[in-house]
Amino acid sequence: MKTSSDEPIIRIENLCFAYNADSENPVVALKDINLEINRGEYIAIIGHNGSGKTTLAKHLNALLIPTKGDVWVKGMNTRDPSCLREIRSTVGMVFQNPDNQLVATIVEEDVAFGPENLGLPPEEIRERVDWALEIVGMLPFRNYAPHLLSAGQKQKVALAGAMAMKPECLILDESTTYLDPAGRREVLDVVRRLNEEGITVITITHFMEEAVQADRVLVLEKGRIAVQGTPRQVFRWVERLRALQLDVPQVTELAWRLHKRSSNFPADLLTVEEMVEELCQRIGRRTHYL
């Protein structure tokens, strides 16, 4: 079933999931998830280990099927086997360890793997490979062996492989975990650029500074959505997030502490730039009265 462009790209209704659901001891991972994700949104999902983040992500491209409830992608139910190919072409996924996704001995062959499995003509495969490698900045490395690349470069090749499928939605499952700050910044710059071009992005991360970049943040706890809202709305609940075993951005932590000392100091600052601007304004006001 096709949907109009103003409908959410992903809709989740009463999603519940249990591993080994038919056994005597099922492990419940998701409970009563209801969620809509709009086209072009940038969503960050956070939560401590075991909260259900990856399990939820795997439902969004039908790697897992709900024990109860439904997941719809562009109006297609993930329970319908006839829709699986189109769903997985619509929703691409990049996992934590790029070595687990690289399947070929040459970069361009690896990126071509997905489109080849779609049975596309060679000319279109070539166009997709060139486009995907260029968009992640890896075109000069097309003939390299993946094992010769840095961790950040490998992750960008894995990202190119997902993009070569021309997805409308991209899921990043803690895909910057093993990267150094420079590599993490490179990958996030690519992801932000893709989002600006209209790709819906869903990122699962332990790095709160990454979540700050999102349009909306979801906090999972014991398989449920505990908190959701804009980054500014979510991260102002410092004590509640700590109770959920989560950190907040360092700038927000500092702003919260300053707010406790002086109630007129804003407690919801998110970035270094916002903190510098606030402090400069305060210094400027003091100087003005000297």
185 lies in a domain?
no
Contacts from 1-5 at CB under 8 Å and sequence distance 24+? 1/75, 1/76, 2/74, 2/75, 3/74, 3/75, 5/39
Taking 70 as the threshold, does the pLDDT of residue 250 lie above it?
Answer: yes
Taking 60 as the threshold, does the pLDDT of residue 280 lie above it?
Answer: yes
Q: Are residues 66 and 175 in the same domain?
A: yes
Taking 90 as the threshold, does the pLDDT of residue 202 lie above it?
Answer: yes
Taking 50 as the threshold, does the pLDDT of residue 267 lie above it?
Answer: yes
Q: Are residues 22 and 66 in the same domain?
A: yes
CATH code of the domain covering residue 204: 3.40.50.300
Tokens 């495969």 belong to: 125
pLDDT of residue 1: 36
Q: 3-state SS string over 144-160?
A: CCHHHCCHHHHHHHHHH
pLDDT of residue 73: 97
pLDDT of residue 286: 62
Taking 60 as the threshold, does the pLDDT of residue 3 lie above it?
Answer: no
9 lies in a domain?
yes
Q: Are residues 25 and 89 in the same domain?
A: yes
191 lies in a domain?
no
Q: Are residues 49 and 70 in the same domain?
A: yes
Taking 80 as the threshold, does the pLDDT of residue 6 lie above it?
Answer: no
Q: Are residues 2 and 80 in the same domain?
A: yes
227 lies in a domain?
yes
Indicate the pTM of the whole model. Answer: 0.86
Taking 90 as the threshold, does the pLDDT of residue 51 lie above it?
Answer: yes
Mean pLDDT of the 200-227 span: 93
Cβ atoms < 10 Å from Cβ of 141: 20
Q: Are residues 18 and 131 in the same domain?
A: no
Q: Are residues 12 and 85 in the same domain?
A: yes
Share of the chain above pLDDT 70, in %: 96
pLDDT, one tens digit per residue, over 138-197 is 999 999 999 899 888 898 899 899 889 889 999 999 888 777 888 788 888 888 988 998
Mean pLDDT of the 90-112 span: 89
pLDDT of residue 276: 92
Burial class (CB in 10 A: 0-12, 13-18, 19+), 249: buried
pLDDT, one tens digit per residue, over 102-112 is 888 999 999 99
267 lies in a domain?
yes
Mean pLDDT of the 38-56 span: 94
The range of the structural domain enclosing residue 133 comes to: 96-166
Q: Are residues 86 and 204 in the same domain?
A: yes
Q: Are residues 54 and 77 in the same domain?
A: yes
Taking 60 as the threshold, does the pLDDT of residue 132 lie above it?
Answer: yes
Distance of alpha carbon 124 from alpha carbon 220, whole angstroms:
40
Q: Are residues 79 and 202 in the same domain?
A: yes
pLDDT of residue 22: 87
Q: Are residues 77 and 10 in the same domain?
A: yes
| CA proximity to 202, closest of 1, 2, 12 | 12
How many separate domains does the chain show? 3
| CA proximity to 184, closest of 155, 219, 146 | 155
Pairing of β 68-73 and β 10-19: antiparallel
pLDDT band at 290 (very low <50, low <70, confident <90, very high): very low
187 lies in a domain?
no
Q: Are residues 28 and 122 in the same domain?
A: no
pLDDT of residue 288: 46
